Amino acid sequence: MVCALSAFAGCFVGHRHQTEHWTAEDTTLGEEHEVAYSQSTTLQLIEDALRGDGILFEVQPDNSIITLWRNADIDTPTGWLIIRVHPRYRYEIQAVPEGSNKSRIIVNVRTEGIPDDQLSSYKASNRFALFKEIDELASRNPPPSSTPASGGVNFTLLPNEDLQALARRATGNAKNWQTIAKDNGLTSATDVTPFENVWVRNSLLQRVTP
């Protein structure tokens, strides 16, 4: 009887250790993306993108967003004997303000029991193109302009367009990006985000020949 109980206890300890290992939060991978919106608007865009993909989430008191756990696409659940814990993942999302009309989206994917060589496939940008969907939602409702309404023209930056490309498109000379940056309080040609409004003074605009 003593031997049997000892053997059982040994199995129980081994089982508990294995279960705790697989239910511990194993790994977190992070991604970042900038948008030309305030923190509150950015959070709304994130929520809309998640709802559009049918992803359930909870908004935390600090305004961060945590999605509910989802089972991973792995055929064999991990675990030991009767209790089997299926590998799973969830997203932890923050919108960090970087000025009145710019925010940085930080998305961490937290996983349990997913092999290291499969982790990258569970990033939000790979799993359901979160950042692309946010940009598409943003393009339907461009942010309000904070640049002057007279003496120039407000241009909306195209995807993958920096100030040099905008200067070439709007003025015919890429070198005008420095003046445009100064007028808009920007520090470099790449200090912009997709769909951001940029003001270009009239004196720089290309003259259209009738």
- Give pLDDT tens digits for 132-171: 999 888 878 766 555 555 688 889 898 889 999 999 999 9
Compute the distance between CA of residue 133 and CA of residue 158 in angstroms, rounded to an integer. 15
pLDDT at 1: 55
**8: Cβ–Cβ under 8 A, 6 or more apart, which residues?**
none
Full residue range of the structural domain in which residue 46 is found: 26-140
| pLDDT score of 11 more than 60 | no
- Tell whether 117 and 173 lie within a shared domain: no
Residue 132 maps to a domain: yes
Same domain, 114 and 165: no
| Residue 5 belongs to a domain | no
Q: DSSP secondary structure string, 39-79?
A: HHHHHHHHHHHHHHTT--EEE-TTS-EEEPPEE-S-SS-EE
Residues 43 and 135 grouped into a single domain: yes
For residue 188, give both structure tokens.
Answer: 């470099």
Same domain, 95 and 120: yes
**CATH code for the domain of 175:** 3.10.350
Looking at the 3D structure of the chain, how many domains does it have? Answer: 2
Question: pLDDT digit string (tens) for 52-63?
Answer: 999 999 999 999
One domain for residues 34 and 85: yes
Q: What is the pLDDT of residues 108-129, one digit of tens each?
A: 999 998 888 898 899 999 998 9
On whether the CB atoms of residues 103 and 37 are closer than 8 A, the answer is yes
* 68 plus 158 within the same structural domain: no
Residue 210 placed within a domain: no
**64 falls within a domain:** yes
Indicate whether 87 and 160 sit together in one domain: no
- The string of pLDDT tens digits covering residues 175-194 is 999 999 888 888 889 888 88
pTM over cut 0.85 = no
Give the residue among 19, 22, 27 at the shortest CA–CA distance from 122.
27
Region 54-75 average pLDDT = 92
Check which CATH number belongs to the domain holding 136 and give it.
3.30.530.50
**Whether 38 and 118 share a structural domain:** yes
Q: How far apart are CA 89 and CA 79, in angstroms?
A: 16
Range of lowest pLDDT (17-26, 56-65, 74-83, 118-127): 17-26
Is the four-CA dihedral 178, 182, 187, 189 of positive or negative sign? negative
- Distance, in Å, from the CA atom of 19 to the CA atom of 11, rounded to the nearest integer, reads 12
Confirm whether 1 is domain-assigned: no
